[in-house]
Amino acid sequence: MRFIFSLASLLVIASPIEAQEQAAQPIPQLAFHLVPGFFHYPAHYVLGRMSGVAVAPNGRIVLLNRGYHPVMEFKPDGTFLSAWGEGSRMFEGAHNVRFDRQGDLWYVDAADNTIYRFDSEGRTVGVLGTNPEPWTYATHVIERAVPPKTSFYQQTDIGWSKDGAMFVADGYGNSRVTKFDADGNFVKAWGERGTQPGDFNTPHSLVVDDNDVIYVADRGNGRIQTFDTDGNLKAVWRLPTAPWSLCLTGGPNQVMFVGSVGRVYKMDLSGKILGQFGRAGRMPSTIDSIHQIACPNASTVYLANLYSNRADKYVAQ
């Protein structure tokens, strides 16, 4: 059965065969304001496109950009700690960064089709996916052969359920979600490119809440879709503008912040938009395309402004 979604409405699908439309209401404006000059990195660091931001359980902040200093780390007060990754080809497709429940840092490289896991001391301790190695074609790989089901095609994000299973938004190419067990073994995949419920058009961000509900920012379709850990569709939420990035707060009453172009939405986990803030631009106090968003609590958000090469901190007044 095919469904038609109104661009002017927020729709919630209670099951794959039932749709409920909510009346469009004016979205309240949230009183968030910029913290000027929060990130104190060295002068004359010329940054590339700011693609990622993540906050560790201990408050340490990591920024990811596509420039010469790809990874920068900061204390919770914005004091610069270090930069690393200079000169490495593994950051050419720097897409985003995430901290897992144990505090390990995961780096998603969309160009290399790999996801790297670093321990608390920065050592590589795990990898998902396989990067292309053209030099092997002449010996033991069939050139342009169909890739194995474990291979990514410009993947975009990763999240974890409470049992340690991993879910990857895969991504620009495959337009699917893949599931791996806690040991990194492929379990299953679901979704394909399309517009129907359960299909994707660039699943660009993915988070998992404390009840193991998976939220996928289906950017090209202008919606968020939710699933259980077996890939069964739970809901489809249409947004006024395309969702680029998702984050969830901690605590017993989780809320979601959604980064878009020129604005940020706050939502509850039933799909209701609670409010929004921001105005479009590329100068300070404006919001660009938010490639990644981090929200350690409901009063603090960090924004990776992609095209203005800038990261910002906003707090509720």
Q: Are 96 and 156 in contact (CB under 8 A)?
A: yes
The SS3 call for residue 282 is coil
What pLDDT is stored for residue 12 in this prediction?
38
pLDDT of residue 9 exceeding 70: no
Task: Provide mean pLDDT across the span 129-147.
Answer: 64
Percent of the chain clearing pLDDT 90 (strictly above): 80
Residue range 193-217: mean pLDDT, rounded = 98
Model pLDDT, residue 6: 37
Determine the pLDDT at residue 312. Answer: 98
Q: Which CATH class is domain 27-316?
A: mainly beta
Give domain limits for the chain: 27-316
What is the band of 142 on the pLDDT scale with cuts at 50, 70, 90?
Answer: low
Q: Which of 7-21, 139-153, 170-184 bottoms out in mean pLDDT, i.e. has the lowest?
A: 7-21
Sequence-separated (6 or more) residues with CB below 8 Å from residue 143 = 137
At residue 132, the pLDDT reads: 67
- Statement: residue 21 has pLDDT above 60: no
The predicted model scores a pTM of 0.90
Q: What is the pLDDT of residue 136?
A: 59
pLDDT digits (tens, 9 = 90+) for 50-104: 999 999 999 999 999 999 999 999 999 999 999 999 999 889 899 999 999 999 9
